[in-house]
Amino acid sequence: MTTRGVEIRRLGRMEYGAALALQEELRAARLADRLPDQLLLVEHGPVYTLGRGADAADLRGADARLGVPVFRVSRGGGGTFHGPGQVIAYPIVKLCGADRDVHRYLRRLEDVIIGTCADFGVDAHRHPTATGVWVGGQAKIASIGVGIRRWVTFHGLALNVSTDLRYFEAIVPCRMPGLRLTSLAEHCKPLPRLDDVAAALGRRFQREFGDHRSEEVAA
Amino acid sequence: MPKLTDTMEEGTIVRWLKRVGDRVTAGEILAEVETDKADMELEAAGAGTVTEIRVAEGETARVGAIVAILSGPGEQNVAKTPARPKAVVEPIASAAESADPVVESPTPQATPLARRVAQQSGVDLRTIAGAGQHGRVQKRDVTAAARSTTAAAVSPPVQSAPPPTGRVELSKMRQTIARRMTEAMRDIPHFYVTNEIDMGEALRLRVALRETGVVTESVSVTHVIIKAVAIALQRQPRVNASWADNALQFNDAVNIGIATAVEDGLLVPVLKGCERLTLGQIASAARALNEKARGGFFAAEEMLGATFTISNLGMRDVDDFTGVINPPQAAILAVGAIKERPVVRDGKLTVGQTMRVTLSCDHRILNGVEGAQFLEELKRLLENPVALVIA
């Protein structure tokens, strides 16, 4: 049993491609145990990304119309939008022992987000069948899409704080036509600062993933 | 398709990283798989050559389905060995993981009897070409091989393995059992309810079934217990429910796992759809599964999806014991031996043949009364077993 923390890196505004390259680098280092678990907290400029399950048609041409770059990436899930006013978290975590369970990992990420929303007085919850975090049963406030290689995670989650939701309305988000997204801005007054939300999410993440975890020798 | 999480039902092959004809080593990545919101990897469960890819890129397969076939290592000395295809079905994080060492065993396909004879006569199964279907090694192949060996040379006396000393690494199956049982005891608040059941009528039922020919399949006490448990579970659906993260998942199907001791470990083959099976059908299905488990063959799907487990030590001299619940199930029934014990019937003391059963319950799902009600129902059924034949 070892007590260890997650190293949290608050990177501020970062280009999507650069963040992806950084994740790849950290993932290799984490796999080789050259680094402890990492949490990258960033904000991106407008970008659409397509997960494994996405069809380019899901973008409905919004990328061309709005001049938003598109990345097809190796995470689970459909198409989504990242942009200003959104807290993006990329955990580079080595899953060990009982934690080697994809759904368990997804549920723990949901717990982190639900806790973060609660920190700002927003009552968010899970959906019985759809991964992600929801408010009021109708609108999704945070999207999750992860990649796992050799049980080291990358990609992660996006929590809308003051995101311009029209970017989502222009596409079929998460393979769910008609899905409505929401943001903390629609539920909190005054609107929390993006930095404060990122910090709260980091604390929640540290609490969920950083405490007293048994370190298992990689098989 | 490997089970990458307990709640996973299917996965989509995103991309194959290996092609037919490629050689792979154990642990190499064969393909990328998507399930739900996660993009994962499919690792080779053993070494070999990819001989067939059954699920194309972009296609979805149920957990336990065969997605590709690896043939065994092709060393010279096993050239004669019947090529036993090794299914790439390594379920992860489930009881079925224990299937791995058996499924991936480099020993050739052989009947359970042939294995036993081979072990007794000290014949290495890998040196025998089987004459059975698909090259399956049968008893006569083994005895023939044993004869030729003794004729050719004075075979060294069969040395029984020395008793183990010092540090011994656990097999993968034992490691899995160790991990899962530790998790179960840590995470599940267990409590236990015991009842004693008079098995006289149930034993007479077996004899009656045999003599009247009503059920042609030979029915064992275990089969009678499975049938009674199946009915009791339908009447007490909460005991057949699963823990689903602060919710209860009620299961329509009654899928009963039968804990089965195998060499260096434990497997839990699952009798699916017991709510639809007659006693005779349960007997034949249970016998087939048991033989498969001991012979080291079964499909991964035969090891998954249990809604309840029975652990029967009735063949040993055991009065009662307690089982550890297999998550996410609500309970496990531990069955002791049938013994002659004093019984009070109609106010008179007599000797009866009784059996003690202990239900381990997940207190998050069941309370004491519910556990007790289940055992009362089971007792009623086994002591009045006519219901087991007509249901």
What CATH number belongs to A7-209?
3.30.930.10
Distance from the B41 Cα atom to the nearest Cα atom in chain A, whole angstroms: 6
Alpha-carbon torsion (B273, B276, B278, B281), positive or negative: negative
Residues A102, B4: C-beta atoms closer than 8 Å? yes
Q: Give the whole-angstrom CA distance, residue A101 versus residue A99.
A: 5
Cβ(B219)–Cβ(B283) under 8 Å?
yes
Give φ, ψ of A45 to 5 degrees.
Answer: -75, 170
**Residue B209, C-beta contacts closer than 8 angstroms, at least 6 positions apart:** B215, B219, B279, B389
Show me where the domains of chain A are located.
7-209
Do residue B93 and residue B145 come from a single domain?
A: no
User: Containing domain of residue B120, as a range?
Assistant: 114-151
**A149 vs B5, B34, B41: nearest CB:** B41
pLDDT of residue B102: 26
Phi and psi, residue A156, nearest 5°? 170, -120
Q: Can you give the pLDDT at residue B46?
A: 73
Please indicate, yes or no, whether residues B206 and B124 belong to a single structural domain of this protein. Answer: no
Interface A:B, Cβ pairs < 8 A: 68
Q: Which amino acid is at B160?
A: S
Sort out which chain B residues have CB atoms less than 8 A from A147's CB and list them: 38-40
**C-beta neighbour count of B151 within 10 angstroms:** 8
Tokens of B264: 């260096």
Same domain, B139 and B212: no
Q: For A146, which residue in chain B has the nearest alpha carbon?
A: B38
Between A35-49, A172-186, B158-172, B236-250, the lowest mean confidence (pLDDT) is in B158-172
Instruction: Give yes or no for a contact between B192 and B322, defined as CB atoms under 8 angstroms apart.
Output: yes
pLDDT at B277 exceeding the cut of 90 = yes
Tell me the C-alpha distance between B37 and A56, whole Å: 17
Please say which residue of B70, B103, B136 terminates a domain: B103
| Better pLDDT: A7 or B42 | A7
Q: Which residues of A touch B35 (CB under 8 A)?
A: 76, 102
Q: What is the mean pLDDT of chain A?
A: 89
Query: Which residues does residue B361 pair with via DSSP β-bridges, in sequence order?
Result: B191, B331
In a shared domain, residues B201 and B118: no
Residues of A in contact with B6 (CB under 8 A): 101, 103
Q: Which residues of A touch B (CB under 8 A)?
A: 51-53, 74-77, 97-98, 100-107, 131-132, 144-150, 155
The model's pLDDT over B60-94, given as tens digits with 9 standing for 90+, comes to 887 767 788 777 654 322 222 223 333 333 322 22
- Residue B355: inside a domain: yes
Calculate mean pLDDT across residues A142-170: 95
Residue with token string 């470990």: B265
Residue B21 has which token pair?
């004809």
Same domain for B42 and B14, yes or no, is yes
**pLDDT, tens digit (0-9, with 9 covering 90-100), for B282-322:** 999 998 887 776 665 555 566 778 999 999 998 888 999 99
Tens digits of per-residue pLDDT, A97-132? 888 888 889 999 999 999 999 999 999 999 888 899
Note whether B193 and B338 are same-domain residues.
yes
Would you mind telling me the total number of residues written for chain A in this entry? Answer: 219
Its sign, for the CA torsion B79, B80, B85, B86, is negative
For residue B326, pLDDT over 90 is answered with yes
Decide: helix, strand or coil at residue B130.
coil
- Residue A134 contacts residue A125 (beta carbons within 8 Å): yes
pLDDT at residue number B272: 92
Say which CATH number the domain at B124 has.
4.10.320.10
Q: Where in the sequence numbering do the catalytic residues of A fall?
A: 174
Q: Is residue B184 part of a domain?
A: no
One-character DSSP codes across A202-215: HHHHHHHHSSSBPP
Q: What is the pLDDT of residue B343?
A: 86
Nearest residue to A122 via CA among A176, A197, A173, A195: A197
**Percentage of chain B surpassing pLDDT 70?**
70
How large is the average pLDDT for residues A15-28? 92
Q: How many residues does chain B have?
A: 391
Which of B295, B292, B256, B257 shows the shortest CA–CA distance to B276? B256
Indicate the helix (H) or strand (E) that contains B378: helix B368-383
- Tell me the CATH number at B64: 2.40.50.100
pTM, to two decimals: 0.49
Quick one: which H or E segment has residue B283?
helix B279-295
Q: How far apart are CA B24 and CA A142, in angstroms?
A: 40
Instruction: Count how many domains chain B has.
Output: 3
Looking at residue B129, its pLDDT comes to 54
Asked whether residue B193 falls in the same domain as residue B311, the answer is yes
- The type of residue at A125 is H
Chain B CB contacts of A144 below 8 Å: 37
Question: ∠B225-B231-B233 over CA atoms, to 5°?
Answer: 100
Q: Flag whether B176 is in a domain.
A: no
**Is A87:A158 a contact under the CB 8 Å cutoff?**
yes
Residue where one domain finishes, among candidates B91, B122, B151: B151
Q: For residue A63, which phi and psi values (nearest 5 degrees)?
A: -60, -45
Of A100, A102, A149, the CB nearest to B36: A102
B19 vs A63, higher pLDDT:
A63
Tens digit of each residue's pLDDT (9 = 90 or more) over A62-108: 998 888 999 999 888 889 999 999 999 999 999 988 888 888 899 99
DSSP, collapsed to helix, strand or coil, labels residue B101 as helix
Share of chain A above pLDDT 70, in %: 94
**Are B4 and A131 in contact (CB < 8 Å)?**
no
Q: Is B39's CB within 8 Å of A131's CB?
A: no
At residue B95, φ and ψ (nearest 5 deg) are -60, -25
Beta carbons of B39 and A148 less than 8 Å apart: yes
Q: What's the complex ipTM?
A: 0.72
Is B46 within the bounds of a domain?
yes
CA distance A189 to chain B (A): 31
Q: Which chain B residues contact residue A77 at CB under 8 A?
A: 37
**Is the CB of B5 less than 8 angstroms away from the CB of A51?**
no
Statement to judge: residues B333 and B205 lie in one domain: yes
Domain-located, residue B203: yes
pLDDT of A99 reads 87
Tokens of B338: 């049938």
Q: Supply A112's token pair.
A: 């982190």
